Structure 1
Amino acid sequence: MTRGSGGRGTAALAALMILVVFLTSCAQIPRSGPVGKSTDESAGNPNAPVFFPSAPRAGASPESVIEDFYSAGSGYEDDYAVARQYLTQSVSVSWKPDQRALVFRSARVVKTGVENVFNYELDLAYSVDADGVATQLPEGSKETIPATLTKVDGEWRISAIPDGTAIPEETFKVIYGAYPIYFYDPTFTYAVPDVRWFIKKKTVKAMTSALLGGPAPYLKGAVVSAFPSGIKLARESVPVVSGAAQVDLTAKELVEASSEDRLRMQTQLALTFRSQPDVINVELRANQDLVRVDDNGSVLPPVRDKNVPARQIAVNNNELVRYENNRISPLPDIQSVATLGPEAPAESPVSQSAAFLNGSRTTLYSIVPGQPARALTTRATLTHPSFSPQDWVWTAGPGANGATEVIAYHPTGVAQGAGIPTVTLTPPWLAGRNVKDFRISREGTRALVISEQDGKTRVQVTGVIRNADGTPKDLTTPTTLLTPRDPDQGVWVNDTTVAVMKASPSDNVAPDLLSLTASQPQQLAPWPGLTAISAGNGPEEIFGQSAQGIFQRLGNGWSPQLKGPLDPSFPG
């Protein structure tokens, strides 16, 4: 980290390293001062570390004041009381530190051509907004924060500074945590995680405010909330009393809600507070009066982290087969497809429909029990098909004019010879990009998209917007997951994690686990010649395919399975 005064920057980094080493023992950690534990049991994690930064030093230079101010921004206790001491009186009142957190890899103070105006230049790793929505940024991403200083009683103080804080990445990993808040799919069948980053000590209130504020941008339109628009917290706290989180909401919206909606609100909060050890149940209140929430059995609890069946579909001797418990068996009532040279098969998680590509991966076929396979589309290239729990099968490829298109088909329940419902989407953010893989999430509200343009790969998650009847309508502007490699295929591992890799029949291939709840990818053990990957329920159920057969992830390695079946894929 580069600082305006290099010695203190080195010392600060060294102190942070000490913090990481000793965090688990809760020892006192030197940084700018002593470190203790949170004692506010109602706010969040009571064991969260607390920084007590140094107050302004007499005679400090403008550069030092700026550095020390942002260093003090890690001390969030008492509404950033120490950091406010570096500001003039009027600015200390108006400054809003919780508007955003800029997380940097390195920083330095640079003079400008204007007297007493400086820039705090950051190599940015993350940007976290007021609702905890984090944006990951690649190395070399720059951000400049202007700061104006003036002298107050002979000491330099900051008289103009943007709202928000800026903290080193090492500090961010210690005092912030990733927490899923939960929304529903439009049918209220599934719980959909929306991962946010909050200060560990202040999670309960932050989670509640974020939930009431609605989903992150990439999920807007794809998920719904039980909380009506306009409902707010009636007081600026969410106390936890004897294990009960008391969520006090504006009375009008809460009282006018149906009993079913109130139960869904309570359930949504209970799911969101799952990560909070001191929260056992949730109480809804209107202006501090307890609101009764009845459960008459008409509202089913949503499915969280939906599991897929244990079986996989695969190709063996040019036929579609079932691969389960390291054995193969025929697919029930499915006619032969040997003449079509099937590859990359997919199976519906809710019906017996299947789909596959031909040998050149230019034609998508669907097949249902009792009917022959039907060609759905032929294009220059197509991605591995993927089924949603709504029984739509998805793929992507260039359209007639060469533009990238995402296509969905609904073959289930369609009589032989009848037209199959089809939707074609052309999201503007995919313009000019070549889609390498497109996989629908287990609950059907999101999709993993791996695309390439000019040799640069993006791994993204987009939301699936549907019409009232469930027909796909659009894809949201996605969120991007950073990866150290350029993968060309990926699969969902659970509701917050995907596995991606760059296939190669000749080189060692190391898949990466990318999680919405982790700041860094997790590299899996390399294995020679991996050409395909599949995943069941969790990181232990990851399978790889090579010319030597199928391999299952086992600890920090791979365990040989059956040889013969090709392109195994779990339902979905």
Structure 2
Amino acid sequence: MAGSATRAVLALLLAFVLLATGCAAIPTSGPVGVISAADGDAEAVEPVFDPQGPAPGASPERILLDFITAGTGAGEGYSVARQFLTTSLQDTWQPEERIVLFRSDPRVEKREAEGVYQIQLETTGTIDARGVRSNTTVPSTETLGVRMVQVDGEWRIDEIPDGIMIAQSSARDLLISHSLYFYSSNYRYWVPDARWFVRRTGVTARIVAAMLGGPVTYLQGSVTSAFPEGVKLARDSVPITSGKASVDLTAEVLDNATDLALQQMNQQLSANLVGLNDVTSVEMTSGQPIQLGDAAPDLVVPELTPDVGGEQVAISGNQLVRVRNGSVIEIEGLPSVSSFDPREPATSVSGSAYSFLDEDRTKLFVTAPGSEVREIADGESLTQPSFDPDNWVWTSRRVDGTTEVLAIPPGGSKDNAVVLAAGWLGDRRVKDLRVSRDGSRALIVTDRGETGELLLTGITRSAQGAPQTLTTPLSLPVAVAVDTAKWAGQSTIVASPVSADAEVEPTVLQLSGEQETMAPLVGVLGISAGSDAEDTFYAQTAETLFSRLGTSWVDENLDVLDPAFPG
């Protein structure tokens, strides 16, 4: 993301450089989102929607600071910001190649070389050209090298890295978050891919272009797009007339395209655009309207938000029970499991199968109404089982100082358990593992030494749907230590430390990067969540079960252990 010219004196300055002292490195991956400015932040920079061009006679320092402000004006292709650049740089500068979000006032420093300056920023995150945001849990610093020259007696920027700089206090006004949607590998579910875009004319086209460019790295191989590789927008706009978005695509979209493929493309475009900028329908064109043909019999309408209901499985009286509407209910036809000292239960979405661990977390069992109890896995430090949509049972275990992730097929046993390839786990110890309700992702809490990590990884599968690998994960920075995390819908995660006697503050995280801290509870032993984090978020203590009400908690007066929603 360097500028167009390179010179020896700027070899180090023109790269994006982190200050070596007193700062943490910006990660290469992380959630997208906006960090709000603190209330009463005296140094918050207000957004400027109609920035001014360079003032006559302005110093180099003033030019650079005003250039940062001018970057908030996206109108007419950032025409005002380009006025601060030399003519040659105006033609090559790419403002949305990289967006740096910063807090406090930027600092400009002159270097020894003539015309060379540095912009120093206290950063909270970056957004790349694809709209993928990387956050840090604590502010970091970054230094940008700049070369200034005089043009007709006025200072102008001759070299600067591509991109703009936006104050975090302005981010909510200047940026929008939008989830792209891709198909799960079996086309049954929509899988969200959270991105951020500058709020400006043409943002609809940018969203379509990002979707055509494919999913974020951690989802590659675990989701699919209906659009063939190489298809692009034929023009840099998506006209919207009477609610209909007309998406003009390059001719590759029609190469060997069946009616089913075209209908899947149109369906994916609709999932991404309907509801955005008053879009109510989508039309695909390639020079002229594309005919979709009669509805293909194999066309599946994917689920956007899989519903897991309002019922949980839990342990009460050393038996598996259901928890529903504030009551504990016996599971009819289920064999007694008391002799196994059950803990950490799980159930399939259909409620047709149950799984649990023994008290030592060394054996994994499955059962069902009218069936016996079967042991399907064993090992050290087994994690709470998780059912995917096809009723594979997932867990992890420690083997010779490393971690294995296992998936056991429906009706399976130790003999046909799949050990997923996940070399990136290394020496990490998995504390919690939950498969998403679309079956395309896994939420993993790991512990490496004394450092906890919240990770999001994609699940690749064979053509027959068997799990194969876990992709290189996305790190989700959280401000507090995390011992457990659960899905609360497709784009929401709840996470929490666990302590028998300390005060704990559970957190709600959006994949867009926003976080909400709940009221503290003493002695949180676990959490559970259903299809959302508003009405189906629970915290368990040694004495009772609490449900969420706003940002506070309501005592359900239920003495149960390890409640868990389906999945």
TM over 0.5: yes
Residue in 2 aligned with 1:25? none
Q: Does 1:93 align with 2:104?
A: no
**Shift, 1:425, TM fit:** 2.6
Is the contact made by 2:44 and 2:103 (CA closer than 8 Å) also made in structure 1?
no
Q: What one-letter code is carried by the residue in structure 2 that aligns with 1:340?
A: F
**Shift, 1:295, TM fit:** 4.5
Residue in 2 aligned with 1:454? 449
Question: Structure 1, residues 233-282: CA drift from partner, whole Å, max 9, x if none?
Answer: 11111111111100000124236411111111111111111341411100
Q: Does 1:157 align with 2:156?
A: yes
Pairing of 1:72-471 with structure 2 (within 5 A) = 72-106=70-104, 107-201=106-200, 202-254=202-254, 256-287=256-287, 289-296=288-295, 298=297, 299-350=299-350, 352-399=352-399, 401-410=400-409, 412-414=410-412, 420-471=415-466
Question: Structure 1, residues 524-552: CA drift from partner, whole Å, max 9, x if none?
Answer: 12222221111112122111111221121
Q: What one-letter code is carried by the residue in structure 2 that aligns with 1:280?
A: T
Q: Does 1:477 align with 2:472?
A: yes
CA distance in 2, matches of 1:314, 1:112: 64
Is the contact made by 2:326 and 2:558 (CA closer than 8 Å) also made in structure 1?
no
Give SS of 1:482's match. coil
Residue in 1 aligned with 2:531? 537
**Shift, 1:512, TM fit:** 0.3
CA distance in 1, matches of 2:467, 2:112: 54
CA distance in 1, matches of 2:56, 2:185: 59
Question: Structure 1, residues 392-434: CA drift from partner, whole Å, max 9, x if none?
Answer: 11112311x2112211112x234xxx65531113523321222
Q: Does 1:555 align with 2:550?
A: yes
Q: Aligned in 2, Cα 1:421/1:126: closer, same or farther, shift over 3 Å? A: same
**Shift, 1:55, TM fit:** 0.8
**Shift, 1:85, TM fit:** 0.7
Q: Aligned in 2, Cα 1:375/1:113: closer, same or farther, shift over 3 Å? A: farther
**Shift, 1:81, TM fit:** 0.4
Q: Aligned in 2, Cα 1:556/1:178: closer, same or farther, shift over 3 Å? A: same
Give the structure with the higher percent helix: 1
Give the alignment's Cα RMSD to 1 decimal. Answer: 1.9
Is the contact made by 1:136 and 1:480 (CA closer than 8 Å) also made in structure 2?
no
Q: What one-letter code is carried by the residue in structure 1 that aligns with 2:72?
A: S
Pairing of 1:2-21 with structure 2 (within 5 A) = none
CA distance in 1, matches of 2:124, 2:68: 16
Residue in 2 aligned with 1:24? none
CA distance in 1, matches of 2:426, 2:118: 36
**Shift, 1:182, TM fit:** 0.6
* TM-score after normalising by structure 1: 0.88
Q: Does 1:565 align with 2:563?
A: no
**Shift, 1:297, TM fit:** 5.3
Q: Aligned in 2, Cα 1:101/1:422: closer, same or farther, shift over 3 Å? A: same
- Out of 474, 489, 497, the residue aligned to residue 494 of structure 1 is 489
Q: Aligned in 2, Cα 1:264/1:426: closer, same or farther, shift over 3 Å? A: closer
Give SS of 1:141's match. strand
Q: Aligned in 2, Cα 1:343/1:103: closer, same or farther, shift over 3 Å? A: same
CA distance in 1, matches of 2:441, 2:566: 16
Q: Aligned in 2, Cα 1:158/1:277: closer, same or farther, shift over 3 Å? A: closer
Q: What one-letter code is carried by the residue in structure 1 that aligns with 2:516?
A: Q
Is the contact made by 2:231 and 2:250 (CA closer than 8 Å) also made in structure 1?
yes
CA distance in 2, matches of 1:235, 1:501: 46
Give SS of 1:138's match. strand
Structure 2, unpaired ranges of 5+: 1-40
Q: Which moved more, 1:270-279 or 1:530-539?
A: 270-279
- Out of 62, 65, 69, the residue aligned to residue 63 of structure 2 is 65
**Shift, 1:173, TM fit:** 2.2
CA distance in 2, matches of 1:139, 1:419: 44
Q: Aligned in 2, Cα 1:475/1:193: closer, same or farther, shift over 3 Å? A: same
* TM-score after normalising by structure 2: 0.88
CA distance in 2, matches of 1:290, 1:113: 60
Give SS of 2:346's match. strand
Q: Which moved more, 1:236-245 or 1:271-280?
A: 271-280
**Shift, 1:362, TM fit:** 2.7
Is the contact made by 1:501 and 1:511 (CA closer than 8 Å) also made in structure 2?
yes
| Percent pairwise identity | 37
Q: Aligned in 2, Cα 1:113/1:140: closer, same or farther, shift over 3 Å? A: farther
**Shift, 1:293, TM fit:** 2.1
Question: Structure 1, residues 92-127: CA drift from partner, whole Å, max 9, x if none?
Answer: 111111211111224322333432212222222121
Is the contact made by 1:351 and 1:391 (CA closer than 8 Å) also made in structure 2?
no
Structure 1, unpaired ranges of 5+: 1-12, 20-30, 33-50
Q: What one-letter code is carried by the residue in structure 2 that aligns with 1:507?
A: A
CA distance in 2, matches of 1:420, 1:108: 62
Is the contact made by 1:407 and 1:422 (CA closer than 8 Å) also made in structure 2?
yes
Q: Aligned in 2, Cα 1:252/1:448: closer, same or farther, shift over 3 Å? A: closer
Residue in 1 aligned with 2:36? none
Q: Aligned in 2, Cα 1:67/1:295: closer, same or farther, shift over 3 Å? A: farther
Q: Aligned in 2, Cα 1:77/1:440: closer, same or farther, shift over 3 Å? A: same
